[in-house]
Chain A
Amino acid sequence: MGIAFENQVAAPQLPSRPAYGDNQTGTHLPERAGSLNGVIVPEQPGKNAIEVRGVRKVFGTGENQVAALDTVSVSIRENEFFTLLGPSGCGKTTLLRLIAGFDFPTAGEILLHGQDIAPLPPFKRPVNTVFQSYALFPHMTVAQNIGFGLEMLGKPKAEIEARVAQMLKLVKMEALKARRTSQISGGQQQRVALARALAPQPKVLLLDEPLSALDYKLRKEMQIELKRLQHETGITFIFVTHDQEEALTMSDRIAVMSAGKILQVGTPRDIYDRPAERFVADFIGETNFLPGTVVSKHAGVATVKFASNATIAAGYPEGFDPTGEVTLVVRPEHADLVPDPVKGTIAGTLANIVYFGTDTHYHVKLDGGGENFIVRHQNSRSSPVTYATGAKVGIQFEEDAARVLKD
């Protein structure tokens, strides 16, 4: 029976590599996290749970070749809540699969706590995965699914039962523990998948959109639970999500990916306030793009002139040298309306007012043309001025609101 079984899915031919533990001589690739956006993150050697070094992953051959990951380098620290954020097909799942050991990098290496994990099959890596497709065992009950990892580790029965009960409670599935996984809803399956991966208390937990099928309330609850759990257990979380709000609220650091590359790594604040590239700004949060011309630069701050001849001071990322025609990026909440068009840096006509409950969005048709500029106003009981559509308004910018970004 053995022969055919060796041809197993997860056992591709291992590329020849240095023996396990013989990796200390590996060259350090520069970490992108620190070099971008001016925030220097101190390198903590040995404190990295996962180090991805120059990893490429190419699928297919010849004409059908796809580089799902194009030379990705990133370090994920111990006990960190690290989020991979990016549009569909950018390589998030691929990166998780390489870390879990289901696929092997075409080039580069992955270290777990400083050790090259290439020689380790998935069942020897202290890494568990919450699969995007759940991948629950249909022939087992909810409880059996959750206990599977512990059972494989050979834990005593009593310990397994206690832990399964604890996990069932955590994901609120106690009532359905004897059900088969084919007889529960999608959201319930997702919770079981989460409990199953958490039960063996891995060093690193890979979560591939683990909350995507849950309703808003349960999702919020699970987010809090996950954060608490991560805090208490010291497990390193690598979390994949499409939901930028989820990414911003939960993560210690976020990596924004696009087309197989990591564009920026940083704290939610870095990413949101100091996006390194236009793609990042566009992908996370709402953003206004304004055309302008650089007139002067000094100490990381450029003076940019609008068509209306008004000027504004705008920061720009380190290592980027803005000249000539550029695009400015301004978050909607970093700008404000003024009733007098002359008092604003730029001016326009109120085209649309959209009420969102907590805040209101004002869509301003700029005098210079182009896309509508959006200003977000937090609603309060005593909003000083009320605006009506069609009114002429000015737009003012908060200090540091505008940034010049690479296209």
Chain B
Amino acid sequence: MTTAALSSASLSKAALFEAQAVKTSARRNRLLSLPALLIIGIFGVLPLIIICVYSFLVAAPYGGVQWQFSTDAYLNFLFQRDIFDDTLQFTPDFLIIYLRSFLFAVVTTVICLLLGFPTAYFMATRPPAQRNWWVLLITIPFWSNLLVRTLAIMFIIRDEGLINNALLALGVIDKPITMLYTNFAIQLGLLYAFLPFMVLPLYSSLEKLDFRLVEAAYDLYATRRQVLWRVIIPLSKPGIVAGCLLVFIPALGAYVTPLILGGGVHLMIGDLIAQQFGSGRNWPLGCAQALILMAAVLVALFFYVRNTSGKVQHG
């Protein structure tokens, strides 16, 4: 007799009960998830559909759209139509801004990880009573608005700012170093804005780390470096993945930081898209740019998650 036959014969009543229970709990689950589905539908999917539709329309001269199908928005992303002979010219301007933004986001993620990991490790190895204070300290920046904090950075790094004044006073330099409105300024601003988003998930992962495993690794002749690479980092991978996502994605779409610290000269994707809805008056192009960004993030995410998941066991 096969196991299936055996169970259906002798356990039919139990199986029936189980099936019933599964059905009931499934119905209950569906009911409970209704509010969540509604919120996702109204605030997530609907705007996305609108953006998608708009990206295939024609721009109205003073903003808004004309209801007429066109793929121009997507063509305009890479090409420009010559006004005289109507041919398409390859114009990589937007592409360059995208690549630059990716570079900024990648550098931000990497540096945040390098700075955030030791910070989170330090926090997680404090006595339990102290740890909450450290978490509180890390979250202090969230108490005020990002715009205000970014303006503060501006005051620190501008030509007559804190740093230059201090260096001038100390005689280290004899004329101010230009930092504001440079790539450096944007990078600094991004790091400042997103570091907490790296530290917090890393901390929550490291805090759960069983330090007896670290002892076990030491016991088995692993040096400090080996313990780090073979035990601590693999076991804190969920935090690393979460932290990288939480930094990379918003950094890619950063708007305020490059606008203020880049002075509108060094654009990032966020500013570019915003421009289309403002001075550019090209809503379809803005929508298309937003969708292209989303597609790029999704592709990057897909590879990232595929390469990092499955190797970590939780619990």
Q: Does A158 contact B (CB under 8 A)?
A: no
Q: How far is the CB of A123 from the nearest CB of chain B, in Å?
A: 5
Asked whether A135 lies within 8 Å of B221 as measured between CB atoms, the reply is no
Beyond A135-B213, A137-B213, A139-B312, whether A196 also contacts B119 by CB under 8 A is no
Chain B, interface residues (CB within 8 Å), range: 20 to 34
Asked whether B223 lies within 8 Å of A123 as measured between CB atoms, the reply is yes
Asked whether B125 lies within 8 Å of A129 as measured between CB atoms, the reply is no
Q: Does B122 contact A (CB under 8 A)?
A: yes
Beyond A131-B212, A137-B231, A139-B311, whether A123 also contacts B117 by CB under 8 A is no
Chain A, interface residues (CB within 8 Å), range: 35 or more
Q: Does B315 contact A (CB under 8 A)?
A: yes
Chain B residues numbered 165-219 whose CB sits less than 8 Å from any CB in chain A: 210-219
Nearest-neighbor residue (CB-CB) of B235 within chain A: A139
Nearest-neighbor residue (CB-CB) of B216 within chain A: A135
Interchain pairs with CB closer than 8 A, number: 98
CA distance A152 to B230 in the complex (A): 10
Q: Does B313 contact A (CB under 8 A)?
A: yes
Q: How far is the CB of A274 from the nearest CB of chain B, in Å?
A: 36
CA distance A180 to B310 in the complex (A): 12
Q: How far is the CB of B140 from the nearest CB of chain A, in Å?
A: 20
Nearest-neighbor residue (CB-CB) of B213 within chain A: A135
Asked whether A153 lies within 8 Å of B125 as measured between CB atoms, the reply is no
Q: Does A149 contact B (CB under 8 A)?
A: yes
Interface centre among B217, B221, B227 (most CB of A within 10 A): B221
CA distance A131 to B215 in the complex (A): 10
Q: How far is the CB of B222 from the nearest CB of chain A, in Å?
A: 5
Q: Does A320 contact B (CB under 8 A)?
A: no
CA distance A100 to B215 in the complex (A): 10
CA distance A102 to B230 in the complex (A): 19
| CB-defined contacts of A137 to chain B, threshold 8 Å | 213, 216-217, 231
| CB-defined contacts of B111 to chain A, threshold 8 Å | none
B residues at A contact (CB < 8 Å): 114, 117-119, 121-122, 125, 210-224, 226-228, 230-231, 234-235, 311-313, 315
The 3 closest A-B pairs by CB, nearest first: A4-B118, A149-B220, A135-B216
Pull 20 A–B residue pairs with CB atoms less than 8 Å apart, ordered by A: A1-B117, A1-B118, A3-B122, A4-B117, A4-B119, A8-B125, A8-B214, A102-B215, A129-B216, A131-B212, A131-B215, A135-B215, A137-B216, A138-B213, A138-B235, A139-B235, A139-B312, A148-B220, A152-B223, A182-B315
